[in-house]
Amino acid sequence: MNLIVELRQYTLHPGARDTLVDLFEREFVTGQEAAGITVGGRFRDLDDPDRFVWLRAFPDMAARARALRAFYGGPVWQAHRERANATMTDSDDVLLLRGPGLPAPAIAGPVVATICHPLDLTTFTGHFEQHLRPALTAAGTPAQAVHVSEHAENTFPALPVRTGENVLVWFTAGRAPRLPDLSLHLKSAPRQLRLEPVRGLRPPS
């Protein structure tokens, strides 16, 4: 099933990530779900202590607009937005995608997001399915939850998304996949995010 998916990367003030993670897990998961948003995986970036990465999904763009209006105009966000915003230096690094979404992983362990910027999305998607996906599976790092850019107009302009980009994104459980030379297909080298799933709230200190 293809959904509208946001891959959101937040840059945070030094030392603020655990504050945001705890607030997110305590208030924003259930708050968004009550507004009709499917909250997916939430992650700490293993290579950047000041980065928080997460996904959320919607059935379509119209549903996205309704759900985001309900959440950001609702009591949960209004009550906690100042504390959440105080942790962030940038919350606008958002890729709008189409794909299956990525639920919060059921087991502990790293997840790798691979982000590719192809010269031609259609051509690269065909290459991925015919050649790269089988090679990744054979190497023991199968591609999961493959997504491509969604270029529909942003139906909730209060929250910016990156525009003018074509990307193909997939996720891998465990170690980062070793990739062949893709320079003939991509505008730049693939970016791989090594991510640690969030595991609920911290115990009280």
In a domain, 202, yes or no: no
Task: Tell me if 40 sits within 8 A of 58, measured CB to CB.
Answer: no
Q: Which of 129, 30, 121 is nearest to 71 (CA)?
A: 30
Range(s) of the domain holding residue 38: 3-197
Render each residue's pLDDT in the chain as its tens digit; 205 residues. Answer: 799 999 999 999 999 999 999 999 999 999 999 999 999 999 999 999 999 999 999 999 999 999 999 999 999 999 999 999 999 999 999 999 999 999 998 777 899 999 999 999 999 999 999 999 999 999 999 999 999 999 999 999 999 999 999 999 999 999 999 999 999 999 999 999 999 999 755 444 4
In a domain, 47, yes or no: yes
In a domain, 67, yes or no: yes
In a domain, 124, yes or no: yes
The two tokens of residue 205 are 């200190």
Tokens 């980009």 identify what position?
165
Which residues, in sequence order, are bridge partners of residue 96?
6
Cβ neighbors of 2 (< 8 A, separation 6 or more) are: 98, 99, 100
In a domain, 33, yes or no: yes
In a domain, 205, yes or no: no
In a domain, 139, yes or no: yes
Task: Tell me if 152 sits within 8 A of 124, measured CB to CB.
Answer: no
Structural domain count of the chain: 1
pTM for this model (two decimals): 0.95
Tokens 């999961």 identify what position?
144
Give me the CATH number covering residue 37: 3.30.70.100
Residue type, 174: G
> At what angle are helices 75-85 and 61-72 packed, to 10 degrees?
80
Q: Within the chain, how many helices (H) and strands (E) appear?
A: 6, 8
In a domain, 204, yes or no: no
